[in-house]
Amino acid sequence: MSTNNVESRVIKAPATVVWDALRKQDFKFWALVKSAQLSSSPSEVGATRTTTFTDGTVQKHRLVEFSEINRFLTYEIIDSDPAIHSLSAQHTIRVFPVSADDSSFVQWSSDFSSEGSLEAVMDSKYKKLEALADLAKAVEK
């Protein structure tokens, strides 16, 4: 078992469109997310986001890395109610353009502290795959 998990998907929309849906971090495309509130500009590193999931979980995330040129953002989970089975987790979502047909390759990678349980990692794996499928639904025409 690894404490790093990477999921990825091809999305049939240009990288600029996919990145636009991700960079604002309202996660409107994600069926599991009920709402997301940002403390300030979505591109301000250090900004926090309170995300409420449809199952009632409320998480506080902090943006720690943001790249407009390489189209990636990294956030860490700084609070979770109920607590997640991992002392800490860091997520990076990156969009790569697919030049041959102007679509996108999206990679979502998560690092868990070594206390991350297998259960937490598996849960994250399936949630990322679902989120990427939701993202595809939101931006593909």
Contact set with a copy of itself (CB under 8 A): 1-3, 6-10, 40-41, 43-46, 64-70, 74, 90, 96-101, 103, 105, 107, 113-114, 116, 129, 132-133
Return the number of the residue (58 or 64) whose C-beta is nearest a copy of itself.
Answer: 64
Smallest distance, a copy of itself to C-beta of residue 56, A: 27
Return the number of the residue (3 or 57) whose C-beta is nearest a copy of itself.
Answer: 3
Sole residue written with tokens 């206390």: 115
Sole residue written with tokens 């990636």: 72
φ, ψ for residue 2, nearest 5 deg: -105, 155
Calculate the alpha carbon distances from 56 to 43, 50, 108 in Å.
26, 12, 23
Return the number of the residue (33 or 64) whose C-beta is nearest a copy of itself.
Answer: 64
Q: Are strands 48-53 and 33-38 parallel, antiparallel or unpaired?
A: antiparallel
Smallest distance, a copy of itself to C-beta of residue 13, A: 13
